[in-house]
Structure 1
Amino acid sequence: MPSILIADRDANERIGIGWLITSCAIPYDHVYTAATMAEVIQCLESHTPDVLCLELDMMERGQWEALKLLVDQYRPLVLVMTAEATFERAMQGIELNARDLWLKPQTPEKIRRVLTRFCMEKKESQSSLPVRGVEGGRLAEVSYRDLFLPLKKPGKSYPLMLAQLENPQRHPELLRFLSTYPFREQPILLPLNDAIAGIFSWEDGDALSQLEQVGKRLLRDWEASFDDSLSVVLYQSDDQEQLVNETYLEASQALHIRFFRGYRQVSVVRNRISWTMIDPFLTPAEQRAWIEMLQDGDKEKLKQWMYRHFFYKDEPYPEPGLLRIRLTSILAQVRRYMKANGLYHGNVEEAYHRVFETILYAPILYRIVQELLLFIYSLIDSVFTQKEESRADLIELAIRYIEGRYTDPALRLEDVARHVDRSPAYFSTLLSQKHGVSFRQLLNNLRMKEAQRLLLETSLSVQEIAMRTGFVNANYFSKIFKEKTGTTPRLLRNQKK
């Protein structure tokens, strides 16, 4: 049975119209009332009344668009009431497709007659709804056979919706949500392996643009109650002779738009998706560029390269499968970098395989790019750490060599550099970076430390101590000793005595 919503700021008006419906036995199944526009919107969304009796004067400026959207979505029969006989109010009624305009006060007989006529019209329209299917131009019962087999020609293009959650395990929740959602006309819902298909019987000339508004509201209502990300594709072909199966296959292609746009999106598509064909493999120049960027460890340059080549804002988009191949071509260069630096064992190898699987199967492009970049950053950090540790190990090896030979007057920088298999200049730079001293300073520090011990603990002469600590000339030894300690060898020994 039809239902009616009476929306008026005046409680007496609401009560009076409700009493008139009851006393005259006008067969409305439910009579809802609203005193504010917020209550009107809530009732339209919650109960989808068949008839809306609305006082225009209760609307505020910012509520007009929301009301028009709801009226377009749920299509109640609208009659409007106003105390202002102005052109503006008449235009508002026209924009709402109002069937009647009441100027207050209105006679009970007029109210009874109009509400009765609306009730009868709604009952007749409900009893003569088109059969869901594609026979005789109307939507007959559509089944899975129609989706997967080229069986039926509908004679008219009907919009199709594909709703997909990021977590397919929760599709039963989505199905329950769609089954009870207040669509203008409930679609045929067919749960699939990776989405839920909804086939609508709207025969409006531009049903898809109206359905887009429904899709946006559906997405908003889902997110208000559930935390899983939803993607909605709305598809309608301009080809009136297209098979239901063909419509479904082309809409399924449109699902891949989420690869570029992500979830929490409503994508409206007309006709077949046209992907751009690209060469999925890196050119020789691009391979060299990647090798150089990896060797330089330039994270910012790597990031900008990836953003420039893989972040697409506008259609037509590249074919997603080709982009995945291109990403694996990049990963091949990363693999070469790993092997060149000995990074292909243990946790690093496991991380590499995880990134490879992400490239093959992850549904969103920007997430793949971020995971690949984070993996590359970790490799660069590992190589840097290895080099630092290698440098530290090399310096420690050199210092141990010097400590064992500092008493040799002939010990030179070239001897130590040769021992650690580095050039003298490179070794000198590493030593300076690590300890902040030159080779000669380090050597003299070791010799002076031993000289002080011998002066304080033995009775050896200054000449003998100089020879034992690598100095051929005792005077040169005394000069260096004073520079390092601020005193002469003899004064240091006398101070002890």
Structure 2
Amino acid sequence: MTKLLIADRDHNERAGISWLVSSYAIPFDKVLLAGSVAALFQIMETEIPDVVCIEIDMIPKDQWDNFRELTKRYIQKVIVMTAEATFERAIQGIELHAYDLWVKHKSPDYMKQVLNKCYKSLIKTKEKHYPDNILNTQSAVSYRSLFLPHETASTHSRLLLMQLENPKKQTLLLSFLQEYPFHNPPVLLPLSNMIVCVFIFDLRYPLKHLKHIGNRILTEWEERYSEPLSLVLYDTNNPSLSLNEKYLHARQALEIRFFKGYRQLSVIEEKVNWVIIDPFLTPSEQREWINMLNDADRDKLKHWMYQEFLNLTEPYPEPGLLRTRLTSILAQVRRFMKSHNLDEGTIEVRYHQVFETILYNPILYRIVQEFLLYLFEVFEQAKRHKDVSRKDIIEQAILYIEGHYHNPDLRLEDVASHVGRSPAYFSSLVTKRQGSSFRQLLTAIRIKEAQRLLLDTKISVQEIAEKTGFINANYFSKVFKGKMGITPRSYRNHKG
């Protein structure tokens, strides 16, 4: 279908040219009319006319660049009309690559002659770029030719694959493409997780034109919706490839988003050849990870992960192997968790979430960020667990001492053995947590109990010394006075 748009502020001018086209049977299939700049821009974008007959004086200076860009993007031929034959108008016509320049009022015969020539030139251009055998092939493009290896389609097909991050929004993308003003619409083949656009072009049609279309689609989609979209344009000079083979290569190329992310157009001219790597950590890398984890060295771990996964360049490693490598690293983290008794509760739930992220998240950068956040959570949990563990040891030790202080032979080694620590470690831990030595802690507990017995009972000082673990009454009295400043008898009498 060929379309002619007549844009003029004067209703009579619009009606006159439209009448001329109709009366002289100039074979445009559809004639569109615009009386304002807003209507002109809307029709140009929605109807995509082949020819625009425009009163150039109606375009204000602040809208000129927009009009010129729309003309370049959508319109094949432009006829410029003006009320004044000025140098400025001539320059504007040249900028638009105008087919002809009319100074009002041209004779109907001249206008008819130009419009007829413009139409014939337009038809020849279409036949040149879209001969019948190519246009007919478009109807042969189907799911069958896409999926079956022995089905053939036009060797002039180019594929543009589109994949949303959220497949539930695919209906929205399909509607967007169905309404999109393609100059020569592609065959749209929606699949469960992508939409395949098959463009039929003469090989002389430049690839950069389709790249321009892909980037424009991406830009306009972003302006209207916030859903991340990935595009792969597949073009090859190999005429022997079937549509099915092209589709398989293009589908594989969609995996490039694993490295580049969404909101990108990737142009692929050959099958993607992934680099094969050994995904498992070497013994030296395992030792390095053990050291980094034990040191909780966040900066070193972050640098290692960024260097290993986020500084990759083409040709890229096979994405599945990188996922395996990440799970190999996660196994080291798992061992660290077990050694700190962290394999339960919320941190265990987070471990399984990170494992799922590694397996299924489509973007490598997101996986690495999630992995690092989880690592830092593990370090925080390990630190808290260590602090709690230390606190528990002291509490266990105090409870044991309170149950055995009456034993004059109670030693540091006995209590350390009870809490499962070496005497040296336990001694330093008591000093750090309690601010006193083991002997001072034991003595304080004995003196506290002696105070209670002196005040609450009438038993002798000798008996109190025996009940609180002192070897004799004299030693008890000496220690008591050293702590309290008075003898046990004075302390009891002071009560009265």
Q: Which range, TM-score by smaller chain?
A: 0.7 to 0.9
1:33 and 2:29 matched = no
Is this contact kept in 2: 1:79–1:99, CA < 8 A? yes
Following the alignment from structure 1 to structure 2, what is the Cα–Cα distance between the partners of residues 185 and 303?
49
Corresponding residue for 2:176?
177
Letter in structure 1 aligned against 2:30: D
Is this contact kept in 2: 1:164–1:194, CA < 8 A? yes
Q: Secondary structure at the match of 1:200?
A: strand
Following the alignment from structure 2 to structure 1, what is the Cα–Cα distance between the partners of residues 302 and 426?
34
Q: Select between 398-407 and 376-385 the one with higher mean Cα deviation.
A: 376-385
What TM-score, normalized to structure 1?
0.82
Is this contact kept in 2: 1:44–1:70, CA < 8 A? yes
Following the alignment from structure 1 to structure 2, what is the Cα–Cα distance between the partners of residues 401 and 28?
100
Corresponding residue for 1:248?
247
Residues 312/49 of structure 1: CA separation in 2 closer, same or farther (3 Å cut): farther
Corresponding residue for 1:210?
209
Q: Secondary structure at the match of 2:34?
A: strand
Q: 1:77 deviation in Å?
A: 1.7
Letter in structure 1 aligned against 2:270: N
Following the alignment from structure 1 to structure 2, what is the Cα–Cα distance between the partners of residues 97 and 271?
36
Corresponding residue for 1:279?
278
Following the alignment from structure 2 to structure 1, what is the Cα–Cα distance between the partners of residues 387 and 284?
31
Corresponding residue for 1:20?
16
1:371-450 paired onto structure 2 within 5 Å:
371-450=370-449
Residues 70/58 of structure 1: CA separation in 2 closer, same or farther (3 Å cut): closer
Corresponding residue for 1:231?
230
Q: 1:40 deviation in Å?
A: 4.8
1:31-70 paired onto structure 2 within 5 Å:
31-33=32-34, 35-36=36-37, 40-54=40-54, 55=56, 58=59, 60=61, 64=65, 70=70
Corresponding residue for 1:479?
482
Equivalent pairs: percent with the same residue?
A: 46
Residues 269/53 of structure 1: CA separation in 2 closer, same or farther (3 Å cut): farther
Q: 1:375 deviation in Å?
A: 4.1
Following the alignment from structure 1 to structure 2, what is the Cα–Cα distance between the partners of residues 162 and 239?
19
Q: Deviations over 1:411-463 (max 9, x none)?
A: 44333223222123322333344444443443343233223323433455667
Following the alignment from structure 1 to structure 2, what is the Cα–Cα distance between the partners of residues 362 and 320?
11
Residues 113/59 of structure 1: CA separation in 2 closer, same or farther (3 Å cut): farther
Corresponding residue for 1:295?
294
Following the alignment from structure 2 to structure 1, what is the Cα–Cα distance between the partners of residues 69 and 253?
26
Is this contact kept in 2: 1:236–1:270, CA < 8 A? yes
Q: Secondary structure at the match of 1:278?
A: coil
Letter in structure 2 aligned against 1:99: Y
Letter in structure 2 aligned against 1:217: R
Is this contact kept in 1: 2:165–2:228, CA < 8 A? yes
Q: Secondary structure at the match of 1:24?
A: helix
Q: Secondary structure at the match of 2:200?
A: coil
Q: 1:183 deviation in Å?
A: 0.7
Following the alignment from structure 1 to structure 2, what is the Cα–Cα distance between the partners of residues 133 and 462?
119
What TM-score, normalized to structure 2?
0.82
Residues 349/34 of structure 1: CA separation in 2 closer, same or farther (3 Å cut): farther
Q: Deviations over 1:131-181 (max 9, x none)?
A: 676599x756323343332444745x4421111122334434433332221
Letter in structure 2 aligned against 1:149: P
Is this contact kept in 1: 2:159–2:196, CA < 8 A? yes
Letter in structure 1 aligned against 2:477: A
Q: Deviations over 1:270-305 (max 9, x none)?
A: 333243332322221111112222333334432322
Is this contact kept in 1: 2:157–2:200, CA < 8 A? yes
Is this contact kept in 1: 2:454–2:488, CA < 8 A? yes
Q: Deviations over 1:77-111 (max 9, x none)?
A: 2234565844x866664554432344x55535455
Q: 1:255 deviation in Å?
A: 1.0
Residues 127/421 of structure 1: CA separation in 2 closer, same or farther (3 Å cut): closer
1:47-126 paired onto structure 2 within 5 Å:
47-54=47-54, 55=56, 58=59, 60=61, 64=65, 70-80=70-80, 85-86=86-87, 93-94=93-94, 96-102=96-102, 105=104, 107=106, 109=108, 111=111, 113-115=113-115, 117-119=117-119, 122=122
Corresponding residue for 2:25?
none
Letter in structure 1 aligned against 2:256: I
1:309-328 paired onto structure 2 within 5 Å:
309-312=308-311, 314-328=313-327
Q: Select between 349-358 and 243-252 the one with higher mean Cα deviation.
A: 349-358
Letter in structure 2 aligned against 1:393: D
Q: Select between 45-54 and 351-360 the one with higher mean Cα deviation.
A: 351-360
Following the alignment from structure 1 to structure 2, what is the Cα–Cα distance between the partners of residues 166 and 476?
76
Is this contact kept in 1: 2:230–2:263, CA < 8 A? yes
Following the alignment from structure 1 to structure 2, what is the Cα–Cα distance between the partners of residues 398 and 145?
77
- Unpaired segments of 5 or more residues in structure 1? none
Residues 149/21 of structure 1: CA separation in 2 closer, same or farther (3 Å cut): same
Following the alignment from structure 2 to structure 1, what is the Cα–Cα distance between the partners of residues 188 and 436?
78
Is this contact kept in 2: 1:81–1:101, CA < 8 A? yes
Q: Deviations over 1:1-46 (max 9, x none)?
A: 54444556xx34xx3431222332445734242644x665443322
Is this contact kept in 1: 2:99–2:118, CA < 8 A? no
Following the alignment from structure 1 to structure 2, what is the Cα–Cα distance between the partners of residues 132 and 284?
64
Is this contact kept in 2: 1:21–1:112, CA < 8 A? no
Following the alignment from structure 1 to structure 2, what is the Cα–Cα distance between the partners of residues 358 and 173?
26
Residues 212/135 of structure 1: CA separation in 2 closer, same or farther (3 Å cut): closer
Aligned length: 483
